[in-house]
Structure 1
Amino acid sequence: MTGPSQGDAVTGPDDNPSAGGSAPIPKHFVAGGTMRHVVVMTATASFGLMSVFLVDLADLYFLSLIGEVAVAAAIGYAGTLLFFMISVSVGVTIAGSALVSRAIGAGDNERARRIATSSLVYAALVTSLVALPFVVFVEDALTLLGADGQAHTLATGYLRIVLPATPLLGMGMCAGGLLRARGDPRRAMYVTLAGAVVNAVMDPILIFGAGLGVDGAAIASVLARVAFVVVGFNGLVRVHNLLAAPRLRGFATDVRPISAIAIPAMLTNVATPVGNAYMTWAIAKYGVSAVAGWAIVGRILPVAFGGIFALSGAVGPIIGQNYGAGQFDRVRQTYIDAMVFVLVYVGIVWVILFSTRHLLVAAFSASGDGAGLVLLFCGVISASFVFVGVLFVSNAAFNTLGYPYISTLFNWGRATLGTIPFVWIGSLWLGAPGVLWGQAIGSVLFGAAAGLVGYRLVTHLHRRPPGEPPVPLWRIALSPFSTGKSLTGI
């Protein structure tokens, strides 16, 4: 069937969603300007994502009104472990989004619906298995991060409430990714926006009205995850009819292709919280004030750079539909447009952070080493996120085009070789500020390398049909830049 007009190409539901599982699924991203698709997809994804991070920032603000540094430190420790859970959920979301978008691009609607259903089941199972050991050993995990005293006690109580709701987070995020793969970023945004609204409303009620403090913030987060699932399933089932009836045979068929992307994608995304865990450990030795400053940076960072974090999930469906449809020139142009977007976005955000750095220190009552870390991040370090954005865009291309192991290689390289030695040397020379400097240097090196390999990959997709076995990494990295050659001819 003919897709909707360009004006509603990325927001409208199926022409006849009541027609059942046989209704064709429109291919929204195979026509129109690729930069427009990148901007619209990223804007809606980042708005929803940043709304969640803004609520996290509001959590920290409300809790800072209690007047105890240990409270802010506790949220910093808890946030490190929750970042790990989010990263696992993102890995499953990447797999479902990549496979469904490619199936839609190829016109295989039955497979698209079946994989969408299998992805949600997969998300629930995997996030449950991953969260279980953290629920059982949460105190030991916090101790390993360097938490002690009241900060350890408060973080333990917070995580014991939030961690059991991890499957809801996984399913909600996966639902949002499937809506983006379908070409409906507006409703994907509604998923996270609904959770943010619930969290924002319930935070002051539970923290102050009910007098629950940190536990109240945790309960509000759980209610937000319920909202994720409700709104996400409404879009998938009622609006787009994108889910098939769950069947054991269908799930068994899809486990292998989902795992082929999800496992390396999860490993890829887990690398970031592992690196952040090391950062938290490295900063912890400088005292509670430094950890509180790191917690403030950890809340400012995703709000400021939500567009960069959202870009990976936003670009993947555009690349996937065009790759499935065999439009390789559009895949390459999408990659280039996303890089331009990163450069402009980070430049604007850096100017804003630099201009407001002292206001942010005052707003969160940061002092000592904590204030120094906030000023350093907003003043200089934030500019290095150009290379973080390049890495994220490259990861989207690798995951969607069948090279998820390359994403794993670069992300783990950044989290280990690009973090540990540089942070160690930086802390020896500069103390707590050296920790941030060390991480920034590693991000620049690995982001630049990933961008180079990613560009060579999308440049040599010509005449390479989807489904062909991936070419080894070294052949891509060493291939010439000529756009006239195919990967098969390297």
Structure 2
Amino acid sequence: MAIGVLSLLGFQLVDSAFIARLGTTPLAAQSFTFPLSFLIIGVQVGMGIAIAALISRTLGANDLARARRLGGLVLSAGAITIGVLALILWVAHRPLFLRLGADDATLVLIRNYWAPQLLAAWLGANLYFGYSLFRAHGDTRLPGKLMVMTSLVNLLLDPLLIFGIGPWPGLGLAGAAWATVLAFFTGLTILGSRLKATDWLARHGLVEEAKRSALPFAGIAGPAMIGQLMPPLAAMLAISIVATLGETTVAAWGLASRLETVSLMVVLALTMSLPPWLGRCYGARDWAQVERLMHLAFRVVLVWQLAIGVALAAAAPWVALALSGHPEVRNELAILMRFMLPSYALLGICMLVVSAGNALGWPLGAMLMSGVRLFVCYLPCLWLGAQLAGVTGLAAGAAIGNALAGTLAWQLYRRGICSARLKVVE
């Protein structure tokens, strides 16, 4: 999963690097779309968490017939839900982007990019739901391979569609979105053919299963989805804060956001692969094994994130030079990298605790932790830093917010484990 996540997030960074060659305005236009893209991702990840949890628990109970019904139900319901959300975001895109701070010139670029990007988001969501189904059945290899394959397809198509080749002109910013559409469509085609070869989906009894599973699904997906929707909401507020510092800072922030997701690849892989394992331990009330797994994950995250964070921070000028051709964007990106990347070690601890909470029967606690991280720790520090010291204060505020969130999440986890052990003893 780490290899797959690296390749998937890597192609998003490659998108931004190619777009940066078009100029600061196209890069800023793409950056304005990130919060709404994260909104779609938040919904799909929340649903994916519920998919993996319900199906893995059902398989653990050896109820294969119900697992097949759940598989068919969640794939169809997920496609409809994301499709409706994408339509809403297209219809309301102008007032939304104006609210985020885009001007009329940037809005023209956004409009040409946003339609194919929404199509790509819908295809990507369906692909993700398929990944969740495979992970629930214990197969992480196919999702990882498909992530790598779609990333390579996108990498090959990006320069052709953005810049053109020979007599065929490029599509500019929109070309990046169309490359993603074709990459995800290719992956979805392969995933569909593999699903047909399995016995994981049922076509009958879905209505009755929907009635039976609606409340359990909502009990997991509801808090998880709200928790996943908080980051895009916070990202909207963050980009509004960043926009007050100018278009150059918005462009640098967009590149820093891409670097953030790439540097967090191990954390993201753990948040996808660890919950099904924790869920089975939860079903067996094996809290000692839960602690062993979580402590191992904490150590991996701390060592990895500190190592990669410090290394990238030291190489910030050269990384910024590779990602952007604009001197001011490069300088501001280097400042953001030096402060923010090392702080992702404690951010990773927070992400692990939130992910584990959804698997261990603490969905409300996980949701509240997400809210505290973003709206109590992160955004206030971000705003205060921007007000006091511009770009440098912005970067320092983000780092301080991440550190506070990781510390609070660790305390929440320890209390949850102690409470669970007491219940077992009683």
TM-based fold match above 0.5: yes
Inter-CA distance 461–116: structure 2 relative to 1 (3 Å threshold): farther
Aligned to 2:360: 401
Q: Distance in 2 between matches of 1:167 and 1:108?
A: 31
Inter-CA distance 166–248: structure 2 relative to 1 (3 Å threshold): farther
1:398 and 1:404 in contact (8 A); partners too: yes
Q: Distance in 2 between matches of 1:118 and 1:450?
A: 34
Aligned to 1:163: 118
Q: Within 5 A, what are the aligned runs for 1:264-283?
A: 264-283=223-242
Once the two structures are TM-superposed, the CA of residue 130 in structure 1 deviates from its matched residue by: 2.3
Q: Secondary structure of 2:127's partner? A: helix
Q: Secondary structure of 1:107's partner? A: coil
- CA RMSD after TM alignment: 2.1
Inter-CA distance 188–461: structure 2 relative to 1 (3 Å threshold): farther
Whichever structure has more helix as a proportion of its residues is 2
Inter-CA distance 366–157: structure 2 relative to 1 (3 Å threshold): same
Aligned to 1:62: 18
Q: Distance in 1 between matches of 2:416 and 2:280?
A: 17
Once the two structures are TM-superposed, the CA of residue 204 in structure 1 deviates from its matched residue by: 1.6
- Given the alignment, which residue of 61, 75, 84 partners 1:129? 84
1:335 and 1:455 in contact (8 A); partners too: no
Corresponding letter in the other structure for 1:60? S
Q: Distance in 2 between matches of 1:212 and 1:150?
A: 17
1:118 and 1:254 in contact (8 A); partners too: no
- Given the alignment, which residue of 402, 413, 417 partners 2:376? 417
User: Structure 1 stretch 319-328 or stretch 70-79: which is displaced more?
Assistant: 319-328
1:245 aligns with 2:203: yes
Q: Secondary structure of 2:361's partner? A: coil
Q: Distance in 2 between matches of 1:232 and 1:413?
A: 37
Once the two structures are TM-superposed, the CA of residue 251 in structure 1 deviates from its matched residue by: 2.6
1:316 aligns with 2:257: no
Q: Within 5 A, what are the aligned runs for 1:50-449?
A: 50-66=6-22, 68-209=23-164, 210-238=169-197, 240-246=198-204, 247-365=206-324, 367=326, 370-449=329-408
Aligned to 1:22: none
Corresponding letter in the other structure for 1:155? I
Inter-CA distance 273–113: structure 2 relative to 1 (3 Å threshold): same
Corresponding letter in the other structure for 1:346? Q
Once the two structures are TM-superposed, the CA of residue 212 in structure 1 deviates from its matched residue by: 0.8
Q: Distance in 1 between matches of 2:57 and 2:317?
A: 46
Q: Distance in 2 between matches of 1:104 and 1:460?
A: 27
User: Structure 1 stretch 103-112 or stretch 419-428: which is displaced more?
Assistant: 103-112
Q: Distance in 2 between matches of 1:241 and 1:132?
A: 32
Corresponding letter in the other structure for 2:7? S
Aligned to 2:423: 486
Once the two structures are TM-superposed, the CA of residue 323 in structure 1 deviates from its matched residue by: 2.3
Inter-CA distance 252–223: structure 2 relative to 1 (3 Å threshold): farther
Inter-CA distance 341–222: structure 2 relative to 1 (3 Å threshold): same
Once the two structures are TM-superposed, the CA of residue 335 in structure 1 deviates from its matched residue by: 1.4
Q: Secondary structure of 1:129's partner? A: helix
Inter-CA distance 191–455: structure 2 relative to 1 (3 Å threshold): farther
User: Structure 1 stretch 49-58 or stretch 103-112: which is displaced more?
Assistant: 103-112
Q: Could you give the per-residue CA deviations for residues 115-172 of structure 1, whole angstroms, max 9, x where no partner exists?
A: 2222212311221232222110111111111111432211221112221443322221
Q: Distance in 2 between matches of 1:236 and 1:321?
A: 24
Identity, % of aligned pairs? 28
Once the two structures are TM-superposed, the CA of residue 109 in structure 1 deviates from its matched residue by: 2.5
Once the two structures are TM-superposed, the CA of residue 108 in structure 1 deviates from its matched residue by: 2.8
Divergent runs of 4+, >6 A: none
**TM-score scaled by length of structure 1:** 0.81
Aligned to 1:41: none
Q: Distance in 2 between matches of 1:433 and 1:234?
A: 50
The aligned length equals 421
Q: Could you give the per-residue CA deviations for residues 324-378 of structure 1, whole angstroms, max 9, x where no partner exists?
A: 3443322221111111111111022113202321111211336565334322332
1:86 and 1:169 in contact (8 A); partners too: no
Corresponding letter in the other structure for 2:100? L
